Amino acid sequence: MATQHVSPRSESVSQPSSKACREKLRRDKLNERFLELGAVLEPGKTPKMDKSAILNDAIRVMTELRSEAQKLKESNQSLQEKIKELKAEKNELRDEKQKLKAEKESLEQQIKFLNARPSLVPHPPVIPAAAFAAGQKLMMPVIGYPGFPMWQFMPPSDVDTTDDPKSCPPVA
């Protein structure tokens, strides 16, 4: 059986053994990552090659994002407070609505009760039509109820006051 001797050169192809090779790979990876970062910071533009400019842009974007995140947190807090206020107002309005519903039902019950009860004020007596016949002076007592005007039930000649000074002169 022959053993195969591996030379140092073939070993460096699969895994770099020298410090210089490893450092070169590290720099290449860093350069690739900087290019990726530049492309992410300004999509659509050709990425910058200057690492310092890329880092400055990254710092600027991070600062803007932090500021925007802070504004969004504050906005979220104010909206949460507004939601609490609106929920409290909604509950108050719901309670008020329930009270108004109950009051409405109570008033409807009172109206039904009052409509079902007989009236305390009796209807005026029916006056025969003959009592109002033209030319006849039929003296009929007019019954009045306090708070109810009764002149509309009197004959028009009794309501007419134009001849009052002649028939009833003023007392001196």
Kindly report, residue by residue over 88-138, the tens digit of the pLDDT.
999 999 999 999 999 999 999 988 888 876 655 555 555 555 555 555 555
Q: How far is CA 95 from CA 87, 89, 108, in A?
A: 12, 10, 20
Of 159 and 125, the one with more pLDDT: 159
User: pLDDT (tens digit, 9 = 90+) per residue, 47-89?
Assistant: 778 889 899 999 999 999 999 999 999 999 999 999 999 999 9
Decide: 19 and 27 in contact? Cβ < 8 Å.
no
pTM of the model: 0.44
**Residue-level pLDDT at 115:** 80
In the block, tokens 């039929």 appear at 138
Of 45 and 97, the one with more pLDDT: 97
**Residue-level pLDDT at 117:** 67
Output 115-122 pairs: Cβ under 8 A, ≥24 positions apart: 121/145, 121/148
**Residue-level pLDDT at 7:** 47
Taking 60 as the threshold, does the pLDDT of residue 141 lie above it? no
Average pLDDT (13-28) is 82
pLDDT band per the 50, 70, 90 thresholds, residue 147: low
The residue type at 108: E
Q: Which of 1-15, 40-54, 85-99, 155-169 has the lowest mean pLDDT?
A: 1-15
| Full DSSP string of the chain | -PPPPPPHHHHHHHS--SHHHHHHHHHHHHHHHHHHHHHHHSTTSPPP--HHHHHHHHHHHHHHHHHHHHHHHHHHHHHHHHHHHHHHHHHHHHHHHHHHHHHHHHHHHHHHHHHHSPPSSPPPPPPPGGGG-TT-----PPP-BTTB--GGGS-HHHH--TTHHHHSPPP-
Q: How far is CA 84 from CA 50, 77, 93, 95, 159, in A?
A: 51, 11, 14, 17, 70
